[in-house]
Amino acid sequence: MSRKVLIAAPIHPILPRWLDANGYDCTVNETVTQQDAPALVKDCVGIITSTRLQLDKELIDAAPMLKWIGRMGSGMEVIDVPYATSKGINCYSSPDGNKNAVAEHALGMLLSLNKKILKSANEVKEGKWLRDENRGVELDGKTIGIIGFGNTGSALAKKLYGFDVRILAYDKYKRGYAPPYVEECKLLADIFNEADVVSFHVPLQEDTYHYFNEAFVSNMKKPFVLVNTSRGKVIDTNAMLEALESRKLTGVCLDVWEEEPIEKMSPDMRSLLEKTASMPQAIITPHIGGYSMEALYKMSKSLLDKIVSRK
């Protein structure tokens, strides 16, 4: 029986080493294209993927011996999970592996924005020493609304504990999840009424597409800061830019964009990105929240444990 595995994702070297030690035969090809993938998976029992490949019906059908798919990170929208499951293929993700990296990234961006660290540091590089223009705003005493309280949302709350902030959480699909330092909101309205900062931690699905839109902005009672480390399409970019221009949004910290990467962006999205990125009240990073050195190891280990324990 085949024991072949295609690793089509950046991984920690322990993953193929450990899989091979468990009887698998791994080929690492991080740069495989969607076009070339069918030929490579035809006798594979396992595939490790990230965002490079779409594990759609066509690619799944090209791998008749497939028993499992491992996703480095979260975001299972790259896999047709219902179809894979219907064929008896187990799908594993590893959101536990990068949740801390995302939480640190969200907090880092927020502190950097509020305290004008990135802006003023760039000015110093240009020989400017501007103090009054860079007076910061503290997190202390503010209310942070976390939307989606899974791996990354709860990890951010844990980081915020100790900052003397009020933490509100709203999760549409859970009840009774909040630790003592988090106020669980039954209604999104509680976040609309109270929050100074809103941070999104939801998967991209039908009910989260353009979650942040014109109506969301007008429902918010106070001017606020938006943090998004989830998926770019959760935000209606045009509505966000309008809110920034009207000052209802006082700042944005974005690790994701509605279309990614830059090379695949439509000209309209590209110009919205350039316009937003040029604003001093915007910090945009290229989807690196979960991309820490440690996360690579933790995600590899998380997948390995799941794959090996299925035997």
Residues that bind ligand NAD (CB under 6 A): 73-75, 95, 98-99, 102, 147-153, 170-174, 201-204, 207-208, 229-231, 255-256, 287, 289-290
Tokens of 248: 């209802």
- Give the residue at shortest CB distance from ligand NAD: 150
Q: For this structure, is 287 an active site residue?
A: yes
Question: How far apart are CB 200 and ligand NAD at their closest, in Å?
Answer: 8
134/285 with CB nearer ligand NAD: 285
Residue of 260, 263, 270, 274 marked active site: 260
Alpha helices by DSSP H, the chain: 14-21, 37-41, 57-61, 81-86, 95-114, 117-125, 151-160, 188-194, 214-219, 237-245, 267-277, 293-309
Question: How far apart are CB 105 and ligand NAD at their closest, in Å?
Answer: 7
Q: What's the CA dihedral at 265, 210, 230, 140 to 10 degrees? A: 120
Question: How far apart are CB 172 and ligand NAD at their closest, in Å?
Answer: 4
Question: How far apart are CB 131 and ligand NAD at their closest, in Å?
Answer: 33
Residue of 12, 201, 231, 258 marked active site: 231
4/99 with CB nearer ligand NAD: 99
65/150 with CB nearer ligand NAD: 150
Single-letter code of the amino acid located at 55: L
Q: How many residues does the chain have?
A: 311
Q: For this structure, is 105 an active site residue?
A: no
Question: How far apart are CB 2 and ligand NAD at their closest, in Å?
Answer: 31
Neighbours of 192 (CB within 10 A): 20
In sequence order, which residues have a C-beta less than 8 Å from that of residue 249 and are 6 or more positions away? Answer: 217, 223, 224, 225, 226, 240, 243, 281
236/255 with CB nearer ligand NAD: 255
CA gap 204, 15 in Å, rounded: 28
68/257 with CB nearer ligand NAD: 257
In angstroms, the Cα distances linking 180 to 157, 166, 176, 177 are 11, 11, 11, 10
Tokens of 160: 């915020």
Residue of 123, 287, 294, 310 marked active site: 287
Q: For this structure, is 126 an active site residue?
A: no
Q: Catalytic residues, which ones?
A: 231, 260, 287
